[in-house]
Amino acid sequence: MVDKESAIIIRTDKKTYFSVQLFCRFTEEGFYNKSLFVEKNKKTIAKIKFPSSEDIKNFSVKIKKHRKGVILECFYGGGNNLYSRHFYFKCDKDGMYLYKIIGTHTTPNSDKPMTDKKYIQPQIDISDFDIVNYIDNTP
């Protein structure tokens, strides 16, 4: 069974529409899995499979609209280390591009999370985006 968890439609001009949809399902092994599908003018341009909680402890993801783009909000960790990664994508008539990552690392005994911003130059096309790589290698 596959369920659409949330979806966002972005119009960049009169002829260009992006649909960003988050789906969830249970695998045959019983693991909960989420995937992101991105369409441009009804043509699929990216399918991103997110890590399961078996791969990364307590992993969850949400999508939110942001100006003429979208933010993927990822949260994971547990115990003494809680992490978040916010991936900022912008849409234009040519495609959808990653341009910024904001990462936080919070420990329960700390008053303030450590926050780091990383601007992506050159910007990365969503079809080339690997979320696990960016979770592993961003602050």
Overall number of domains in the chain: 1
Residues with pLDDT less than 50, the chain: 1
| Full residue range of the structural domain in which residue 115 is found | 2-137
pLDDT score recorded for residue 131: 92
pLDDT score recorded for residue 87: 96
pLDDT in tens, 99-134: 999 999 888 777 777 888 999 999 999 999 999 999
Exposed, middle or buried, 98 (CB in 10 Å: 0-12/13-18/19+)? buried
DSSP letter (8 states) at residue 31 = -
Exposed, middle or buried, 133 (CB in 10 Å: 0-12/13-18/19+)? exposed
pLDDT score recorded for residue 1: 45
pLDDT score recorded for residue 88: 97
CA angle 89, 123, 37 (to 5 degrees): 40
pLDDT score recorded for residue 30: 67
